[in-house]
Amino acid sequence: MRALVIGPSLCYIPTMSRETILAKVKQATQGIADKAEYPSYDVSDLHSARRLEGTDLWEIFSRNFRAVNGKTMRSLAELVTFLQSTEQICGYCDPVLWDAVGKGLTEAGLTVETVYDRDQYDRYQFGITRATGAIAESGSLILDDDHTSDRLAALSPWTHIAVLIETSIHRTIPEAIVALGDAPNIIWATGPSKTADVEGILIEGVHGPGEQIALCLA
């Protein structure tokens, strides 16, 4: 126990250390031996039938991803055209993706680095990293620390390009949850970053990429 001194007069407010608080929580919950079972439910009731219309997972994902202002691409040529047309000429690429993506961008005249210099984060206009997968139902990309070479490279540039393969697309959200790995940090990116905290006005690119691209190469 400690006391805080506030103002010219003494005012004693008891405070507890973190260890004391956790000990009290543990003591209070010791009597809870078993957790209640989850209620039974039909997983199909959790799906959005409208969002899942169709059979091609890439097409379903693309439709839902574009609905949240994401961009989908199937070729390196599409990416080159987009970056050149928006005058984004300097960026980062995961070294694993150099042969498939980075090399082609440099041949097109762009500056691409495979080491992300965090001291110069504002110099990078785009970042290219791997996606663990995608979710067709929600139009979400799955990014985790096991596959993301540099998390800041995926979050700080204005444009993030997530590279994935078509076989890594999950049809539904429950299927994606079942497939969660052991990565300490997992992000589901459903389009560009967004916020509507101020006056209910939707603004994109406030605390993350303003352009989110899903590039499917296989």
pLDDT tens-digit series, residues 150-205: 999 999 999 999 999 999 999 999 999 989 888 888 999 999 888 888 778 888 87
CATH class of 56-216: alpha beta
Please write the tens of the pLDDT for every residue from 51-75: 899 999 999 999 999 999 999 999 9
Domain range list for the chain? 56-216
Give the Cα separation of 33 and 171 in Å (integer).
Answer: 37
Nearest-Å Rg of the Cα atoms of the chain is 23
Question: Rounded mean pLDDT of 121-146?
Answer: 95
Query: Under a CB-based contact definition with an 8 Å cutoff, are residues 195 and 208 in contact?
Result: no
**Dihedral sign computed on CA atoms, order 19, 21, 27, 33:** negative
- What pLDDT, on the 0 to 100 scale, is given for residue 172? 95
Question: What band does 3 get if pLDDT is binned at 50, 70 and 90?
Answer: very low
CA distance 158 to 144: 19
pTM of the complete model: 0.79
pLDDT score of 17? 80
C-alpha torsion angle, residues 148, 140, 187, 117 (rounded to 10): 40
